[in-house]
Structure 1
Amino acid sequence: MSESKLPLTEDAVKREQLSDDFANLREDFSKFSEECAFLFDAFAAITREPECITEHTSEGIRHLCFWLKYQVIGYREKIEETQECWRVLNRKK
């Protein structure tokens, strides 16, 4: 006797997708955190030897700070969007 699977409800599909989204977001943020730790160590090392801060170094730091700012904004938006989807889905219960 074969076991038949019932089709997933629309909410079940959405929950599964949200679960995947959360897992992917966590993995992406974990990688981002590792990159930040490396950059912060590099910034700290540069400040111990201020004479090594050339115009190119300064421009690189400015560029990385700009990049970091917008990465954080992006993560905040993704988290808020995913949370709102989760809230909407849970209100349907």
Structure 2
Amino acid sequence: MTHLRFNSTVVSSTPPASLNEGEKHLYSKLFEKFQPTKLIVEDISGGCGSMYQVEVVSSAFKDLNMVKQHRLVNETLKEEIKGMHGIRLTTKATA
């Protein structure tokens, strides 16, 4: 199991047990692709999986503007996004 530390928050390759199945799926895909220092995935649709709020902080975004960062995440989740009503996305490059 990989652990990364960011502002005293541990980001693990294993999704937190508190996440529902949809959140865990997105978390795992994003962790694998971006090896983030911060990763938050939250189903904000009331549990039905139609709307998610996602925050990803990763060195993979270094020197990329926000649009390009979001495109990378959207490409990673393109199949999952097809079944969603929407996604709120926040991305940031690590220093």
Between 1 and 2, higher relative CO (CA 8 Å, sep ≥ 6) is seen in 1
Structure with higher helix content: 1
Structure with higher strand content: 2
Please tell me whether Structure 1 or Structure 2 has the larger radius of gyration of its CA atoms: 1
Q: TM-score range, shorter-chain basis? A: under 0.3
Relative to the length of structure 1, the TM-score reads 0.25
